[in-house]
Chains A and B, each alone.
Chain A
């Protein structure tokens, strides 16, 4: 089948969206862009295609009615089993890579016992893997580096203590190995993993095993269907790194504008607050960007600001919003400058203000900055769509609602749960249009 793919290489995460010929979103994929943009793009795309396969499984299995009533449960189990398979493969790779790193490390006589410790650490992590992918399991992150990293640190500390070796040896080996592992794309093993996961799922849900043939046939049929990368469009700050010709690259302004339009066809104004920049975009009724404004080179008031505040407060990024929502009093934080805000925050704490009130003030100050960029772009018009990582933060949304109402009156505010994929969706839509509407074919890298 023909697939149309958009890849958004952001500064912190890389997202991909796959559209089918009817312009339906069939898959979404995300990964971290920290170490290598090329790998990040490949992985995000691969993840989106895998997600697309699941979408097709659902369609096909729903049609046959083979899993009547159990379809969603089955697919959820299948996905968890598949993730576990993927995780174990990467974990094996990490174990081998760590041993290789150890061979070149200068630990002297300790090398042997560190090698034994590594074996023990990986044995423990592997044993814990099923629990990580059990139904209802909560993971702090879905990225291998984060999951395996926290498991490794915990197991490593215990093992080091038990064997009486230095913990920092283990840390050293991990640090030297993780980037290498993270930058490998395991494209060849997806089919194998899916088939293995299918077996596990039948085991985990014995009730379904009886209908094995009816279930297997469509799943295998879909696995045999080639998901052809008909046309790919890249966007985001890392777009220049993509192995595409210029024709396949669009600015993120256009992609966010179009993506928001696809999600909400009535959208007139789009605000995107990402990790490093804030964009205010005005789009016409067909999704064409009419004007835009961005923050200047200073990323004050962008997502990174919240990250910095979270670090300052020794909290998780996702905890900031909920804390701010507990606020009962308005504290005014004047600075959107990351560094000044840190000073203001400590000052406010010293004055005796409550953390939740200060947090609410910080969220408001981010949105105040966004309001100014919005004003520069031509103001807020109905409907208004808020996208980007910060749109997930309830305190930011609350502040935005208040300020929009104060300044512009009643407006429809759209926030899609998949808003993080807006840019990639716009890219995929450009890809779809290029082929379906303009009859273009993919071009080689210029």
Chain B
């Protein structure tokens, strides 16, 4: 597998990435290539969402797997989303709604060419696993309206009480058995084999174990990783079309090795400009990143010596650090629990608990919330989270506003101003705390 680690062609020399980051990029690109070939190879195509997705299950039916959110963010990073969003707005989409949706719809209008420039096939089935975002439903409704393709919905109950009750899990399992699996069988023409699912899940659990080790390596000082900007690369394979594949398992094994070596050498994270200098601030970040100005945004942090030791976004597809692993012995139940436990399905008190726990366990200086202008789902309650975390931990928190993939909503001067103020505030508070002792 060592050849896999070779940097992808077309690499810009000035951008620095860890080896595993190059490998991740190659995996993601490989999936786009697979999607591009799907029609020629007579493969059926599924589209589904990232949070709590059922990748292992979809693989059981040989689907090529497309994830519209990932497509949108990839287009954002490649500076293509601005035009797509404008195109979608011209077609009647509102200015204020989720820009992932508009980037996706705009991309379709533009001839269904994916982020890598290869064709993106229209899906045969839309698997809508509803995990906390109501917009998801409307999004797939729009796609279904456009393509007339089948939609199968998995309703995942919200963790309103802050826990997964047995009847919630049973409810999801029953839907899987009675509705999702039969529909996928019918569309794909492949008979469901639970042992195949178990095999994938074994791989998933291995990768999950290594991912957790990687993310928790940030408890070291200095942190060898950035748990937000760096972690978005790390979570790429596991939250998309690769969880359950040997490639993902291999990827996370290699990544863990690299990171453990960094810990041994006492090194900080790798940034696009090389090794990060002195670690001056350790932060927890809540909310997705801005993809269109990703590198500029990250630079505002590492230029100041700010490393994100943990983020809620790195758990958006699924939450493993508090013990969940896919369980081959109880495959459907475990899929259900996975869906139920992803970050977007947690209620506000659970999110607050999680952040407070991160602040303590990762010895963070404070919390930063990146509120997404066009995300109604994530943004609701964020100021309450901020206030509550401040109250409970006594650590400073701050709030910035950007967007997912709409370049019009990223105001660099404004964001930088607030970030600098925040970093200085952290420093000042730290100084005061030392003085008081």
List A residues at the B interface (Cβ < 8 Å). 237, 250-254, 284, 286, 288-294, 296-297, 376, 378
Bound-complex Cα distance A376 to B386 (A): 10
| Cross-chain contact of B421 among A237, A254, A290, A296 (Cβ < 8 A) | A254
Give the complex CA separation of A253 and B398 in angstroms: 12
Is B22 part of the contact surface with A, judged by Cβ < 8 Å? no
Asked if B258 is an interface residue, CB under 8 A from chain A, the answer is no
What are the residues of chain A within 8 A of B418 when measuring CB–CB? 253, 292, 294
Given known A293-B399, A296-B401, contact A288–B421 (CB-CB < 8 A):
no
Query: How many Å lie between the Cα of A250 and that of B422 in the bound state?
Result: 11
B432 in complex: contacting residue of A254, A286, A297, CB < 8 Å: A286
Q: Which of A286, A290, A296 has the most CB of B within 10 A?
A: A296
A251-B421 in contact given A288-B432, A297-B411 (Cβ < 8 Å): yes
A-B contact pairs, 5 of them (CB 8 A): A253-B418, A253-B421, A289-B428, A294-B414, A296-B373
Expressed in whole angstroms, the Cα–Cα distance for A376 and B399 within the complex equals 10
Digitize B402-423: 1 where CB-to-A-CB distance is under 8 Å, 0 elsewhere. 0000000101011001101100
With A and B bound together, what is the CA distance between A211 and B396 in angstroms? Answer: 60
- In whole angstroms, what is the CA distance A202 to B418 when docked? 52
Whole-angstrom distance between the alpha carbons of A293 and B420 in the complex?
13
A288 touching B429 by the CB < 8 A rule? yes
- Cβ of B107 within 8 Å of any chain A Cβ, yes or no, is no
> How far, in Å, is A131 (CB) from chain B's closest CB?
43
Q: Could you mark each residue 21-51 of chain B with 1 if its beta carbon is under 8 Å from any beta carbon of chain A, else 0?
A: 0000000000000000000000000000000
Give Cα A294 to B398, complex, Å.
10
The answer to the question of B424 belonging to the interface, with a C-beta cut-off of 8 Å to chain A, is yes
Known: A253-B421, A288-B432, A292-B425. A378 touches B414 (CB 8 A): no
Contact status of A291 and B398, CB under 8 A, knowing A254-B424, A376-B383: yes
Q: Is B387 an interface residue (CB 8 A)?
A: yes
Whether A250 contacts B424 in the complex (CB less than 8 A), given A286-B432, A291-B396, comes out as yes
| Cα–Cα, bound, A296→B424 (Å) | 20
Q: Are A292 and B398 in contact (CB under 8 A)?
A: yes
- 5 closest residue pairs by CB, A with B: A297-B411, A251-B421, A253-B421, A296-B401, A297-B414
| Cβ contact within 8 Å between B396 and A251 | no
Determine the chain A residues whose CB is within 8 A of the CB of B401 once the complex forms.
296-297
Not counting A252-B417, A289-B421, A289-B428, a sample of 10 additional A-B residue pairs whose C-beta atoms are within 8 angstroms of each other reads A237-B413, A252-B421, A254-B428, A288-B428, A288-B429, A288-B432, A289-B425, A290-B429, A291-B398, A378-B387
Closest to A290 in B: B396
Interchain CA distance A297-B420 in the complex, whole Å:
16
With both chains docked as a complex, state the minimum distance between the C-beta of B216 and any C-beta of chain A, in angstroms.
Answer: 29
Q: Are B425 and A296 in contact (CB-based, < 8 A)?
A: no
Cα distance, A297 to B417, chains bound together (Å):
11
Q: Are A251 and B420 neighbours in the complex by a CB distance under 8 Å?
A: yes
- Residues on B lying within 8 angstroms of A by beta carbon are 373, 383, 387, 390, 396-399, 401, 409, 411, 413-414, 417-418, 420-421, 424-425, 428-429, 432
Minimum CB–CB distance from B128 to chain A (whole Å) comes to: 32
Which residues of B have CB within 8 Å of A252? 417, 421
- Quote the shortest CB–CB distance from B221 to chain A (angstroms): 23
Q: Which residue of A lies closest to B303 (CB)?
A: A246
Q: Which residues of A contact B390 (CB under 8 A)?
A: 290-291
Question: Complex formed: what's the CA distance from A237 to B412 in Å?
Answer: 12
Chain A residues closer than 8 Å to B413, beta-carbon distance: 237
Distance from A254 Cβ to chain B, minimum over Cβ atoms (Å): 5
A296 to B374, CA, bound (A): 13
- Shortest beta-carbon distance, A54 to chain B, in Å? 33
A residues less than 8 Å from B409 (CB atoms): 297
With A and B bound together, what is the CA distance between A39 and B428 in angstroms?
Answer: 30
Contact of A291 with B421 at beta-carbon distance under 8 Å, contacts A237-B413, A286-B432, A296-B414 already known: no
In the bound assembly, the distance between CA atoms of A296 and B409 in angstroms comes to: 10
- Pick the residue among B373, B425, B429 that contacts A253 (CB under 8 A): B425
CA distance A292 to B422 in the complex (A): 9
Bound-complex Cα distance A272 to B205 (A)? 53
Q: Are A291 and B428 in contact (CB under 8 A)?
A: no
- Chain A residue contacts of B397, Cβ below 8 A: 291
Which of chain B's residues have a CB closer than 8 A to the CB of A294? 414, 417-418
Q: Whole-angstrom distance from the CB of A248 to the nearest CB of chain B?
A: 12
Give the distance in Å from the alpha carbon of A294 to the alpha carbon of B383 in the complex: 13
Q: Which chain B residues border A376 with CB–CB below 8 Å?
A: 383, 399
A251 with B411: CB separation less than 8 A: no
CA distance A331 to B429 in the complex (A): 44
Which residues of the other chain, A, contact B387 by a CB distance below 8 angstroms?
Answer: 378
Question: Whole-angstrom distance between the alpha carbons of A446 and B295 in the complex?
Answer: 23
Q: How far, in angstroms, from A254 to B387 measured CA to CA in the complex?
A: 19
Q: Smallest Cβ distance from A142 to chain B, in angstroms?
A: 28
Instruction: List chain A residues, Cβ under 8 A from B428.
Output: 254, 288-289
Distance, CA A254 to CA B429, complexed state (A): 11
A371 to chain B, nearest CB (A): 15
Which residues from chain A contact B399 at a C-beta distance below 8 Å?
293, 376
Interchain CA distance A254-B390 in the complex, whole Å: 18
Nearest-neighbor residue (CB-CB) of A258 within chain B: B428
Distance between Cα atoms of A405 and B387 in the complex (Å): 23
Min CB–CB distance A273 → chain B (angstroms): 16
A254-B414 contact given A288-B432, A296-B401, CB 8 Å threshold: no
Closest-by-CB residue of A relative to B416 is: A240
| Bound-state Cα–Cα, A251 to B373, Å | 24
Q: Distance (Å) between the CB of B430 and the closest chain A CB?
A: 10
Asked if A292 and B414 sit within 8 Å, CB to CB, the answer is no
B residues near A292, Cβ cutoff 8 Å: 398, 418, 421, 425
- Report yes or no: A237 in contact with B398, Cβ–Cβ below 8 A: no
- CB-CB under 8 A from A251, the residues of chain B are 417, 420-421, 424
CB closest chain-A residue, reference B373: A296
User: In whole Å, how far is A267's beta carbon from the nearest beta carbon of chain B?
Assistant: 16
Give A378 to B391 CA distance when docked, in angstroms. Answer: 11
A290 to B421, CA, bound (A): 11
User: Whole-angstrom distance from the CB of A23 to the nearest CB of chain B?
Assistant: 18
A209 CB, nearest partner CB in chain B, Å: 53
For A378, list chain B residues within 8 Å (CB). 387
